[in-house]
């Protein structure tokens, strides 16, 4: 893995391989569990879905033996298992991040490209420190120490845009997100000025969906589609809702890519976007 974390992408790849090997034998997950003493059907299913955070070498070896995988093929998958056991930087913030969001951060850290539509907020990877602080301070029961650590997490995620092989981000933001004042005029002006600057980066494309575009089919909420450098790693759609929702079926991902294309066609082009963001920023005086 490019960032050395192992994490989510490796686990998904391992899970896909294990599922394909099992299906090739004609066994169900229940059949495999019946033949193994230490693995339940639930554990096998979680391994295949990449949900086991630190897969045990012994569990994977037992499955490979059951499926008749030997030699170099077996060693390659065991190496993949070892790589998937690494810990990402976000594990240090496990007390702050919901378990489902760990998966998203892991995928984001290893993605090559990200398309993102945000109807209510500035995209997380483009938020300023003060804007982030305001977002967390308005949450019920927020504590200052936790807020500062949440800010740290968000800023660390933004490193993906500045690494040696930076993440390619194409973001579409509803005009409402630009006009909703978080933290007062100074915070919003700084945030919008940062958006203008970020829109000039070679790996970032920013568009605004203006009010005069009228109704659109993404009014139900924001979403992101993540693509990865390896062709074997299927794209993933993430729906931003409580508990998070990950979709990796090709038909689902294609549907959201088509939805993004629809929004892109109705949004302002990048040059007009910069002009619009500059104009709105001047209103926060």
Question: What is the tens place of the pLDDT at every residue in 61-99?
Answer: 999 999 999 998 898 888 888 777 666 777 777 777 776
**Nearest alpha carbon to residue 44 among 84, 115, 35:** 35
Q: Residue 85: its pLDDT value, please?
A: 67
* Beta pairing, strands 245-247 & 204-209: unpaired
Distance CA 118, CA 267 (A): 12
Q: Residue 230: its pLDDT value, please?
A: 79
Burial of 119: CB neighbours in 10 Å, binned 0-12, 13-18, 19+: buried
Q: Residue 224: its pLDDT value, please?
A: 95
* Structural domains present in the chain: 7-84 (1.10.260.40), 89-281 (3.30.870)
Q: Residue 190: its pLDDT value, please?
A: 97
Count of other CB atoms within 10 angstroms of residue 77: 20
Render each residue's pLDDT in the chain as its tens digit; 285 residues: 333 344 677 788 788 889 989 999 999 999 999 999 889 999 999 898 887 878 888 999 999 999 999 998 898 888 888 777 666 777 777 777 776 677 788 888 889 999 999 999 999 999 999 999 999 988 887 788 889 999 999 999 999 999 999 999 999 999 999 999 999 999 999 999 999 999 999 999 999 999 988 888 877 789 999 999 877 778 989 997 766 788 888 899 999 999 999 999 999 999 999 999 999 999 998
Q: Residue 2: its pLDDT value, please?
A: 38
Question: What is the tens place of the pLDDT at every residue in 123-159?
Answer: 999 999 999 999 998 888 778 888 999 999 999 999 9
Enumerate the H helices of the chain as residue ranges: 7-25, 29-35, 41-48, 57-66, 71-84, 99-110, 129-137, 144-158, 175-179, 185-198, 250-266, 270-281
Percent of residues in the chain assigned helix, strand, coil, to nearest 5: 55, 10, 35
Q: Residue 104: its pLDDT value, please?
A: 83
**Could you tell me if 123 and 173 are in contact, meaning their C-beta atoms sit under 8 angstroms apart?**
yes
Distance CA 227, CA 173 (A): 20
What pTM does this model have?
A: 0.78
Q: Residue 242: its pLDDT value, please?
A: 64
Q: Residue 5: its pLDDT value, please?
A: 41
């Amino acid at each position: 893995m490019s960032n050395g974390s192992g994490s989510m992408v490796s686990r998904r790849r391992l899970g896909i391989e294990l599922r394909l090997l099992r299906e090739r034998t004609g066994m169900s997950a229940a059949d495999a569990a019946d033949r193994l003493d230490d693995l339940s059907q639930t554990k096998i299913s979680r391994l295949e879905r990449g949900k086991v955070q630190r897969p045990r070498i012994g569990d994977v070896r037992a499955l490979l033996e059951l499926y008749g995988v030997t030699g170099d093929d077996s060693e390659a998958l065991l190496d993949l298992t070892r790589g998937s056991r690494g810990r990402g930087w976000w594990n240090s913030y496990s007390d702050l991040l919901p378990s489902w969001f760990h998966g998203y951060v892991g995928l984001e850290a290893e993605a090559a490209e990200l398309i993102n539509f945000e109807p209510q907020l500035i995209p997380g990877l483009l938020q300023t420190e003060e804007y982030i602080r305001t977002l967390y301070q308005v949450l019920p029961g927020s504590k200052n120490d936790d807020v500062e650590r949440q800010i740290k997490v968000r800023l660390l995620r933004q490193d993906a845009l500045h690494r040696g092989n930076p993440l390619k981000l194409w973001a579409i933001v509803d005009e409402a997100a630009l006009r909703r004042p978080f933290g007062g005029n100074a915070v919003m002006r700084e945030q919008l000025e940062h958006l203008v600057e970020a829109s000039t980066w070679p790996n970032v494309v920013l568009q605004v969906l203006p009010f005069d575009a009228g109704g659109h089919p993404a009014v139900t909420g924001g979403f992101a589609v993540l693509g990865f450098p390896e062709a074997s790693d299927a794209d993933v759609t993430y729906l931003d809702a409580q508990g998070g929702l990950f979709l990796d079926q090709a038909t689902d991902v294609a549907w959201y890519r088509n939805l993004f294309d629809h929004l892109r066609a109705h949004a302002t082009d990048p040059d007009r976007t910069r002009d619009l963001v500059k104009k709105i920023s001047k209103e926060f005086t």
